[in-house]
A = this chain, B = another copy of it.
């Protein structure tokens, strides 16, 4: 197992070898969040590949949210390991939706089940931290917001609920799901005739969800968040179910 040169002898893709090398380093604990990767030129000579191949692997890691690169010099320069899955998940969902790999309906359905679960969990928790969510709701009370700003705060509110649940996988997934249908949700607001009324309803529904969580009423929390999300998408859906 200590020899990774033998396996690489039949490795057709150089950039994949770099990726596997770094994954191994991560699994072995040789690299951890906060650490700086060796320079691109160093990695290239160490692994016996060209710098372009190293860069392709690093690009993948960057998009996946594994590293953050910074030019220049000093302690903040170079490629630094971060583990922020939200960005990678968002890119993945967004592109898959663009390529028709993910139907919007499936995205919404997954959002529904995840958020209902989160809401139920929070209601069952002893003392969930809803501070961030409440501050976002306060910010959304500003009636001077345009729809884009309102929807951005709405997304942040739903994400804050996921973060309060403490499950990082669910949080990242929900961030990705939201990104995947962000364009859809934004384009859909134009379909709403009475935006003032709709936004007022959304505000009230948000408060209702928080109230149910605070009251430790898991069933109500689940129902309310479910109806809240499905109601909005039904409203912006071009033609839900005619026949």
Contact = CB atoms under 8 A, between A and B. Distances in A.
Q: How large is the interface on A (under 10, 10 to 19, 20 to 34, 35 or more residues)?
A: 35 or more
A101 B85 contact: yes
Interface string A85-122: 10011011011101111110011011001100100000
B56 A59 contact: yes
6 contacts: A32-B100, A60-B63, A63-B63, A102-B168, A110-B167, A113-B170
A152 interface: no
A66 interface: yes
Contacts of A61: 95
Interface in A1-51: 1, 15, 23, 26-27, 31-33
Interface string A182-218: 0100010000000000000000000000000000000
A68 B187 CA distance: 31
Contact of A106 (B94, B95, B99, B169): B169
Nearest to A187: B1
Interface string A65-83: 1100000000000000101
A33 B85 CA distance: 26
A84 interface: yes
B63 A64 contact: yes
A183 B27 contact: yes
A148 to B, nearest CB: 11
A70 to B, nearest CB: 12
A65 B93 CA distance: 11
Contacts of A59: 15, 56-57, 59-60
A76 B53 CA distance: 24
A66 B26 contact: no
Contacts of A106: 167-170
Contacts of A187: 1
Given A52-B52, A59-B15, A169-B107, A26 B99 contact: yes
A92 B88 contact: yes
